[in-house]
Structure 1
């Protein structure tokens, strides 16, 4: 990695930290705290949230018919999600210890905290749980795949990708044969 790339990555990391600090300032204005990983709202905020909740019947009555008709297609994705989740767990449990790769923690990617929002009706809460699971699972899968790729083939693609996993910036440049051979030897030596 060149000095300029390292400098840009440091600037990007700093900008991400600033963004997170700014988002945290916005969160404090919503009057909640985290206590043992659980969100706690002040009583006045809870009351305000409950008053803003749309009841289920009007919520469904306002839904477009095509939205209702496509819902089973969306919900059917739970089957491949659960199968993927099972296979990821088995894969990581068997292979990562052999490759000496640190395991990804599922709880770092899948979070079910939106169900505690009192301004959501039952169906909205269910949808939030479903989306939290699906998107969290895919992020978890990306982390596991990224760690695997980092171990076996840490080479960037020649073509720019629309999105990459968190480990990708550390990969070798496409065409860096010497770097690859050096990295491969280091990996081989570390897994003896």
Structure 2
């Protein structure tokens, strides 16, 4: 990769790290602010959030008929998500130790915290859990696939790839055989040392 692209990628990574730090700081400030307020304030906040809750029956009655008809199609994908989840979990459990690749922590990708929101009814909570699972499994599988690609074939494609994973920018340029031979061992070694992207 040429120096200008490398510098831009480094800037993007630095900005992403800064964004992560700032988001964590903001979250910590919110937590502190909530802890500093009295129980009265917390009860008032919960009451206001509960007031926003739509009853499950009203939610169903108010739903567009096509939403109800397509719901089974959406939820049928749970089978594919579970198979993908089990498949990549077994795959990394067997293969990653053989190649010295740090395992992806599933719990970093599957987060189920929306069910505690008092303004969601039962159906909305189930929908949120489903979306959390589906997107979490895809992100988890993507990181496992990205680590696999980094180990075996860390070469960029000849044309632009939409939505490339975070590891892709470190791959060698398409057609640069010398860089591939020179950098492959280093890219593989990073997978054992650094569990994150």
TM-score range, shorter chain: 0.7 to 0.9
- Alpha-carbon offset, residue 99 of structure 1: 0.8
Aligned residues: 184
Q: CA RMSD in A?
A: 2.7
Q: Distance in 2 between matches of 1:121 and 1:28?
A: 28
In the superposition, relative to structure 1, how do residues 5 and 42 fare at CA in structure 2: closer, same or farther (>3 Å)?
farther
Q: Quick check: which one's helix share is greater?
A: 2
Unaligned runs of at least 5 residues, structure 2 = 36-40, 193-197
> Residue 152 of structure 1 corresponds to which residue in structure 2?
152
Deviations, residues 97-145 of structure 1 (Å, cap 9, x unaligned): 0011010000111100011101000000000000000000000000000
1:38 aligns to what?
Answer: none
Residues 70-89 of structure 1: per-residue CA shift (max 9 Å, x gap): 00000000011111111111
Return the TM-score normalized by structure 2.
0.83
Larger relative strand fraction: 1
1:15 offset after TM fit, Å? Answer: 2.7
Q: In 2, Cα distance between the equivalents of 1:104 and 1:110?
A: 12
Structure 1's 32 and 93: CA in aligned 2 closer, same or farther, altered over 3 A? farther
Structure with larger RCO (C-alpha < 8 A, sep 6+): 2
Moved over 6 A (4+): 187-191
Whole-Å separation in 2 of the counterparts to 1:188 and 1:129: 35
Deviation at 1:166, TM superposition (A): 1.5
Q: Taking structure 1 as reference, are residues 26 and 104 closer, same or farther at Cα in structure 2, changes over 3 Å only? A: closer
TM-score, length-normalised on structure 1?
0.85
- Provide structure 1 residue ranges, at least 5 long, that are not aligned to the other structure: 34-40
Q: In the alignment, which residue of structure 1 is the partner of 2:75?
A: 75
